[in-house]
Amino acid sequence: MTASTELGELVVVTGASTGIGAATARELAGRGFHVLAGVRRERDADAIGGPGVEPLILDITHSGHVHALATRVADDHRALRALVNNAGIGVNVPVETFAIEKWRELFDVNLFGHVAVIQALLPALICSKGRVVNISSVGGRVAMATYGPYAGTKFALEAVSDSLRRELAPSGVGVVVIEPGAVRTEMPGRAIATANELASAMTPEQGQRYGALVHAVTAQTASHTEWGLPAEAAAKVIAKAVTARRPRARYTVGREGALIRLLPFVPDWALDRLLAMALRPYYPAHAQRSHDDGSRFRRSGTGDAVPGARQ
């Protein structure tokens, strides 16, 4: 892909209201693309609009919005260079306490909505030999405690991306996955607020089982976000995935890339222990002793210790 073919071509970016999506829209516009930036509210459209960025009201779970996007692309004389699937919801909650209808809503946004947009825009992408860039997460490779619902959607998106990449290779359409780790955006703050709200609705028994764990995870998230990369750094990696002549199948953004590279060499029991050790400093003081005692109990090798383990 050369600079001359890039100039003026279309790129669709979903979830462009804030954070990585907004930064990506601006980065690609700065490189000469015309970006169709999907946002959910008029005030977000006013904020993101600018040279090379055309905001569109787009809820990827709304079939009418997806159809209107496909029509907008089909009616444009310019080629569709790439679709960047960035829309998503973050949540940290134990599997037991997340209502099944909430599971369905989460998968609707984080997976099925992306599939709907891909299906709608594939004719244009095949015509232009364009590219699909799916924004996954480090959570698409490692499912930490309370990340079950969110990581479930991202693991699924990774699987869909692998299959799609192999299906579309003969058509000349590339499929790339981006796996951000800690990035300073609004999403972690929203995820923490949601986690606290869901924790307050737990039953007393669930609160006893998971209250300290949720506290530790949200504290760890807040800490990691402070030293995370700016959204603009992630946007540059995404832009590379859009423009590289031969992009990699996956790009990891942030320090967590080292953990991802270790995965093939670390057995599950060792990874469990590493993640538990990393989380330990964030537990409330009153929960430290019971957490440590539980860890020693799990290491004792007794057969009935694991089913009652917190993590």
Q: List active site positions.
A: 136, 150
Query: Would you state the structure tokens that stand for residue 274, as one six-digit string?
Result: 């590493």
Q: How far apart are CA 188 and CA 58, in angstroms?
A: 22
